[in-house]
Amino acid sequence: MLTLMLVCLIFLLAGFIQGLSGFGSALLAMPLLTIFIDVKTAVPLCILNSLLMTLYLVFELKDYMERKKIFPLLLGSIPGIYIGVHFLINAEPYLIKILLGTLIVSYSVYSLVFNPKPQKIHSVWAYMAGFGTGIIGSAFGAGGPPSIIYTTLTGWSRDHIKATLTGFFFICNIIVVVAHATGGLISAPVMKLFAVSAVFVLFGVYAGSRLYKRTKRQEYIRIILMTLVILGLMMVVSALVTI
């Protein structure tokens, strides 16, 4: 019962972050979930709830979505998803935790230190960002960093960045859910946790969306990134201890 309550609270916060910024739910949820439940349960659970969050945001941001921005990311993600699912099925849990923790710390420190500025980027980087997101998303349930870094460097408006990420993650999540189901990763325990946590996810994303236009997004993201550095380091250390 305690585990179920903690999972619901984690997804309440994750939904709030997703509704506020358009990303970050999995990056926050995965380190916390893996403290209480197995990685191979946490990843598909996180993907299912991410699908629910992005579905909500798709309707809210549909006026800002553009196919030409989303399509390159999506096309690049398809082969990445295939690779990531096979990695998740065959890899050792401690290895997944080390790689995921390293990913979180690397992305967070990069964003905090360099504070990437908009610049002209070659279109090939959209496909590369999609490919990296596909691998990381299907293997770790936290595929945001490559596509987030790419979109924040384009110079698009805040609404277009959030809409592009939402549209891309929504389609990507559908593909990953199908891949996870085919690979036997979406089990009865996963569906039970999803059924209970879905209500908390929707409430969180609703609350975050309401605050979206009234919050200084950059300051809030910096706080989240500093928290993720600590969580990522904790995940790596805990995995090394179990080896």
Q: Is the pLDDT score of 93 beyond 80?
A: no
At 27-75, the pLDDT tens digits run 788 878 888 888 889 989 999 999 999 999 999 999 999 999 999 999 9
How much is the average pLDDT of 110-139?
82
- Spatial distance between the Cα atoms of 25 and 48, rounded to a whole number of angstroms: 12
Residue-range definition of the domain harbouring residue 230: 2-242
Q: Output the pLDDT for position 7.
A: 94
What b/e readout covers 199-227, taking b as 16+ CB neighbours within 10 angstroms? ebbbebbeebbeebeeeeeeeebeebbee
Residue 175 contacts residue 77 (beta carbons within 8 Å): yes
Domain count for the chain, please give it. 1
Q: Is the pLDDT score of 119 beyond 80?
A: no
| Contacts with 150 (C-beta within 8 Å, 6 or more apart), sequence order | 73, 121, 125, 126, 129
Average pLDDT of the chain to the nearest whole number: 85
Q: Is the pLDDT score of 193 beyond 90?
A: yes
- Which tokens go with 16? 């709030």
Q: Is the pLDDT score of 8 beyond 90?
A: yes
Q: Output the pLDDT for position 142.
A: 64
What Cα–Cα distance (Å) separates residue 119 from each residue in 64, 108, 155? Answer: 21, 20, 7
Maximum average pLDDT range among 25-34, 84-93, 186-195: 186-195
Q: Output the pLDDT for position 150.
A: 86
Q: Output the pLDDT for position 91.
A: 72
How much is the average pLDDT of 172-184?
87
How much is the average pLDDT of 181-186?
88
Residue 17 contacts residue 55 (beta carbons within 8 Å): no
Residue 197 contacts residue 49 (beta carbons within 8 Å): yes
Q: Output the pLDDT for position 87.
A: 77
Res. 126 pLDDT band, cuts 50 70 90: very high
Q: Output the pLDDT for position 170.
A: 93
How much is the average pLDDT of 203-215?
88
The residue assigned the tokens 């293997």 is: 139
Residue 37 contacts residue 70 (beta carbons within 8 Å): no
